Amino acid sequence: MKLIQKLGIALMLCVGAASFTVSAEPLYDKMRGTTPLLEAPKPPVLGNAINDDVRRTRNYPQQPPVIPHRIDGYQIDKNFNKCMDCHSRSKAEISQAIPVSITHYQDRDGNTLGQISTRRYFCVQCHVGQDNVKPLVGNTFQDVDSVILNALKNPANSSKKH
């Protein structure tokens, strides 16, 4: 019996040792570049955020507008929201900024409030700044207006039955 136990233990040790062999070749992820998965990559140099105040076209209905200016150092917390210095409905005329949508003044039941709804108070939950960077992956997205315009220009392609 002891012989069988010793052989069993020896077999388990061999199997365990074989399973712990590490391959000599590190694993890579294309998004990380040439840095192996188990190493920390060098962070990229931060570029300059787009700061031209040009309104960008939205890609789909109900897309939150992007922020066309820098917001570095803006305080947006439970005590203060720097965005409201320019974008509140009462200050937008003076600052010439786009006022926040009336939907930001409604609660979840659609009731109009006298101040920004707590659900819409933290702007950067939905609105993002833009950096002029090369995309990480290819993108062939077309907004709905472009799809409709292309269909009208090429009626033969849009009338094909699938």
- What CATH number matches the domain at 65-132, 2.60.120.10, 3.50.50.60, 1.10.1130.10, 1.10.3720.10? 1.10.1130.10
- Give which of 122, 77, 82, 120 is closest to 101, Cα–Cα: 120
Q: Where are the domains of the chain?
A: 65-132
User: Could you give the C-alpha distances from 81 to 84, 86, 150, in angstroms and in order?
Assistant: 6, 10, 42
* pTM attached to this predicted model: 0.59
SS3 103: helix
Encode pLDDT of 9-55 as tens digits.
Answer: 888 777 766 666 555 788 888 877 888 888 888 887 777 788 888 88
Residues 25, 87: Cα–Cα separation, whole Å? 54
Q: According to the model, what pLDDT value does residue 50 have?
A: 84
